[in-house]
Amino acid sequence: MKATNLAEITFLSRSANEGFARSAAACFAAQLDPTLDELGDIKTAVSEAVTNAIVHGYPNELGRVLLRLRTLPEQVLEITVRDWGVGISDVKKAREPMYTTGGVERSGMGFTIMESFTDTMKVRSTPGKGTTVTMRKKIAQRASAR
Ligand SMILES: Nc1ncnc2c1ncn2[C@@H]1O[C@H](COP(=O)(O)OP(=O)(O)OP(=O)(O)O)[C@@H](O)[C@H]1O
Ligand SMILES: [Mg+2]
């Protein structure tokens, strides 16, 4: 689908950048005039995807993470989070609620949260090559903007 706007940010997989990515996504999304609830959903989804890239994508090294934001026709926000890290061998399993390779510190709910806070979520991953998560969310047209 042809984007009506686009922004891309690349950052190092340091945990400090999770908040940066979340805020950047919220700032970009502001042009669609989201409600506070919608904005909260977007921030949470970005936060989960970026945390995964940082924690799981690059468990033993620092690597690059790409946040790509696009607006599509009909008030749709598309969020892509990509890493070039270890990848996921079984994406179907990884997407299941409560599946985690993160031990007791993790609850295995990240993908489930991303899925429930957006309209669509696609995960593409190749072991040894990296992971790309693409989410789309339609932002309701508000009466005041009509
Ligand atoms: N970018 C990624 N690179 C490599 N593996 C990933 C990536 N994202 C997710 N995974 C794998 O998928 C599993 C499930 O991810 P999910 O976000 O649902 O749960 P979690 O990160 O383990 O726990 P939580 O998000 O609740 O803290 C992870 O434990 C990890 O094995
Ligand atoms: Mg997670």
For the stretch 67-96, what's the b/e string if a residue is b when 16 or more beta carbons lie within 10 angstroms of its beta carbon? bbbbbeeebbbbbbbbbbbbbbeeeeebbe
Give CA–CA dist 3/101, Å, rounded. Answer: 35
Tell me the pLDDT of the chain averaged across its residues: 96
Residues with CB under 6 A from ligand 1: 48, 52-53, 56-57, 83, 85-88, 94, 99-102, 106-111, 131
For the record, the structure tokens of 3 come out as 């984007």
**Structural domain boundaries in the chain:** 5-141
Instruction: Report residue 145's pLDDT band, with 50, 70 and 90 as the boundaries.
Output: low
Residue 64 Cα to ligand 1 midpoint, Å, equals: 17
Domain 5-141 has CATH 3.30.565.10: yes
For the record, the structure tokens of 79 come out as 């969020």
- pLDDT tens readout for residues 28-82: 999 999 999 999 999 999 999 999 999 999 999 999 999 999 999 999 999 999 9
Mutate to test the pocket of ligand 1, among 15, 47, 52 (most ligand atoms within 8 A of CB): 52
Whether 143 has a pLDDT exceeding 80, the answer reads no
Q: Is 112 exposed, middle or buried (0-12, 13-18, 19+ CB in 10 A)?
A: middle
Of 23, 20, 42, which Cα lies nearest the Cα of 32?
Answer: 42
- What pLDDT score was predicted for residue 92? 98
Alpha-carbon separation of residue 8 from 80, 94, 121 (angstroms): 9, 26, 19
Instruction: Report residue 144's pLDDT band, with 50, 70 and 90 as the boundaries.
Output: low
Instruction: Report residue 4's pLDDT band, with 50, 70 and 90 as the boundaries.
Output: very high
- pLDDT tens readout for residues 12-41: 999 999 999 999 999 999 999 999 999 999
For the record, the structure tokens of 62 come out as 């620092």
